[in-house]
Amino acid sequence: MSYVGEIVHGIRTLLTGMAVTGKYFFRARKEIITQQYPDNRDQLRMFERFRGEVVMPHNENNEHRCTGCQACEIACPNGSIEIIWDRKVDEKTGKKKKYIVKHIYHLSMCTMCNLCIIACPTDAIKMAQNFENSVYDRSYLTKVLNKPGSKLMDGIDE
């Protein structure tokens, strides 16, 4: 590029940059991204892809979709999930079938990588969006995801 061409090109690129930031400046009042937490704690909505914690949804009959297949336990890169399982006889079919006793999840070790969610064949677990996870003792961060007395939803198979 010629000497003069370089100067003109330089000025043009500078102006392009200034146009971008200038646009931000004059629209700033409408598009402020600062969240004034905790003032707006009640209205605060986290954005869609935010991952805060692994949870297991239960329906109104206290049923979940986890078959105890352990795919999530194997998928987890840092051993945050432990499944304690057993077998019992299914009344309908009369066959022995796996079921979970406890789905133990260590929030303190989880990196929110989402691999367990992808691995789960029955979509039994998902990511929640809460982020207020501070507690006074580390042991509170070890959670049992299946609620006490819950059982597998009908029609879910490995």
Partner 1 sequence: MYDFTPMVEGINRWLHSMMPDAAATFAGWVLVALVYLALFAVMGLVLVLVERKVAAFFQLRLGPNRVGPWGLLQTAADAIKLLLKEPVGTKRADMFLYNLAPFLLIIGAMMALSVIPFAPGLQAFDINIGVFFIAAVSSVGVLGVLIAGWASNNKYSLLGAMRSGAQIISYELSMSLAILTMVLLAGSLQVSQIIEQQRDYWFIFKGHVPAWIAFMIFVIAGTAETNRTPFDLPEAESELGAGFHTEYSGMKFAFFFLSEFVNMFIISAVAVILFFGGWMPLHLDGWTGFNQVMDFIPPIFWFLIKMSVMLFLLMWFRWTFPRLRIDQLLKLEWKYLLPMNLVNLLLMAFIVLMGWHL
Residue 116 vs 150, nearer CB to ligand SF4: 116
CB atoms within 10 A of CB 83: 21
Rounded Cα gap, residues 103 and 62, in angstroms: 15
Contacts to ligand SF4 by CB under 6 A: 54, 66-72, 75-76, 78, 80-81, 83, 110-116, 119-120, 122, 124-125
Q: Under rule CB under 8 A, which residues in 35-54 are in contact with partner 1?
A: 36
Residue 3 vs 157, nearer CB to ligand SF4: 157
CB atoms within 10 A of CB 85: 16
**Please, what is the minimum distance in Å from the beta carbon of residue 93 to partner 1?**
59
**Please, what is the minimum distance in Å from the beta carbon of residue 50 to partner 1?**
19
Rounded Cα gap, residues 132 and 113, in angstroms: 18
**Please, what is the minimum distance in Å from the beta carbon of residue 41 to ligand SF4?**
25
Counting other chains too, the contacts that 81-87 makes at CB distance below 8 Å and 24 or more residues apart are 81/54, 81/105, 81/106, 81/116, 82/106
Residue 140 touches partner 1, criterion: CB under 8 A:
no
Residue 135 touches partner 1, criterion: CB under 8 A:
no
Region of 140 on the Ramachandran plot (φ > 0 left; ψ -120 to 50 alpha; else beta):
alpha
Q: Under rule CB under 8 A, which residues in 11-40 are in contact with partner 1?
A: 14, 17-18, 20-22, 24-25, 28-29, 31-34, 36
Query: Which positions ≥6 away from 129 have C-beta within 8 Å?
Result: 46, 50, 51, 52
Q: Which residues bind partner 1 (CB under 8 A)?
A: 6-7, 10, 14, 17-18, 20-22, 24-25, 28-29, 31-34, 36
